[in-house]
Structure 1
Amino acid sequence: MTDNSPKTRDDLLRFLDGLGIAHSTKDHPPVYTVAESVSLRDEIPGGHTKNLFVKDKKDNFFLLTVEENANVDLKTVHTLIGAASKVSFGKPEKLLEYLGVIPGAVTAFGAINDTGNNVTFVIDAELMEHDIINCHPLSNDATTSLGSGDLVRFMEATGHTPLVLKVTG
């Protein structure tokens, strides 16, 4: 019998270690919004992320990872990411099923839980200009920092090839 429960923060950090990816994690009180997390900026340098879990009418799911202050036009982003139609937000049940996280803890690191390749991961090109990218390590009570190229390497190691596209306005 296989264990289908989502990977934990410790599982994620061990996976990064196994890939030889340098990373650091800072614990903090749980944050649910970008506004709540702004107080951490002085302590954690680099690009901070905002994640949008969306789907099209054919139930194709996408995770858009962008810089926290960037704007994504949900009326037109489908033309950039290859969606079949305009996108809407995915339901929390699918977020948990596919990425193993709850709303408020959405992260590119959720790729480690998407063993069925149900989600297309899109990283905004402007975010990739940062040397360091910060993401929740599958929970919103910590922030894990790693190199932007290492984020792509992590995703590839989980069987995903992220699309690096300019999706912000």
Structure 2
Amino acid sequence: MTTDIMAQLASWQISPELIEHPPLFTCDDADRLLLKRPGTRLKNLFLRDNYGRRHALLLTRPDKQVDLKALSTQLGWSRIGFASNERLLRYLGVEPGHVSVLALVNDTQQQVELWLDQDLIDGDHFHCHPLRNTATVLLSKTDLQHFTEQTGHTPQWLNIPER
């Protein structure tokens, strides 16, 4: 999908800082480049249930090893696992390495749930790819809330279990 996310954000009166950088496919890539960016770094996991009927985007700390089995039990979902690259493209309109909360702009049918790790509750200026991994947007907590209201994705703050 070819959404101009920065123009869309501006139309919603959201004007976050944009930092250009070399491509970052993982949190480890950012670590290797020693990028100094203010704010809260995120790990974005695109998940699905065992039947492929439910999907969720989970935002958590980059260093957290999520216990998907315990999360499945906690939420009553059948075997949560990682969604395929094809599902990622179908539901969020991005390829692996380009995922962030901003990809929810492409989920116009609200088929993807948004889960935020309770560990992030005190964070601000969240690091988000603007639908490409060659830049980072610093999205304030207020702007994040406004963005999710605009896209129709009510965030669920969860205690995400760790392995």
Same fold (TM over 0.5): yes
- Judge conservation of contact 2:92–2:104 (CA < 8 Å) in 1: yes
**Counterparts of 1:23 and 1:102, CA distance in 2:** 23
Report SS of the residue matched to 1:75: helix
Matches within 5 A, 1:86-125: 86-125=79-118
Report SS of the residue matched to 1:129: coil
**Counterparts of 2:64 and 2:83, CA distance in 1:** 20
Matches within 5 A, 1:4-153: 6-8=1-3, 11-39=4-32, 43-59=36-52, 60-80=54-74, 82-153=75-146
**Counterparts of 2:33 and 2:147, CA distance in 1:** 24
- Judge conservation of contact 2:70–2:161 (CA < 8 Å) in 1: no
Report SS of the residue matched to 2:70: coil
- Percent same amino acid at aligned positions? 37
| Residues 26 and 40 of structure 1: CA distance in aligned 2, closer, same or farther (over 3 Å) | farther
**Counterparts of 2:157 and 2:96, CA distance in 1:** 23
**TM-score of the pair, normalised by structure 2:** 0.90
Q: Displacement, 1:7?
A: 3.7
What does the per-residue CA deviation read over 1:88-145, in whole Å, with 9 as the maximum and x for residues that have no partner?
1101011011101101111111110001211111111222311211111111111000
- Aligned counterpart for 2:155 among listed residues 153, 162, 168: 162
- Judge conservation of contact 1:130–1:148 (CA < 8 Å) in 2: yes
Q: Which segments of 5 or more consecutive residues in structure 1 lack a partner in the other structure?
A: 1-5
Structure 1 letter corresponding to 2:110: N
Structure 2 letter corresponding to 1:77: L
Report SS of the residue matched to 2:41: strand
**Counterparts of 1:128 and 1:151, CA distance in 2:** 12
RMSD (CA atoms)? 1.7
**Counterparts of 1:75 and 1:101, CA distance in 2:** 26
**TM-score of the pair, normalised by structure 1:** 0.87
**Counterparts of 1:148 and 1:86, CA distance in 2:** 31
* Residue matched to 1:3: none
Report SS of the residue matched to 2:121: helix
Structure 1 letter corresponding to 2:57: L
Deviation >4 Å, runs of 4+: 39-42
**Counterparts of 2:135 and 2:63, CA distance in 1:** 19
Q: Displacement, 1:41?
A: 5.8
| Residues 139 and 129 of structure 1: CA distance in aligned 2, closer, same or farther (over 3 Å) | same
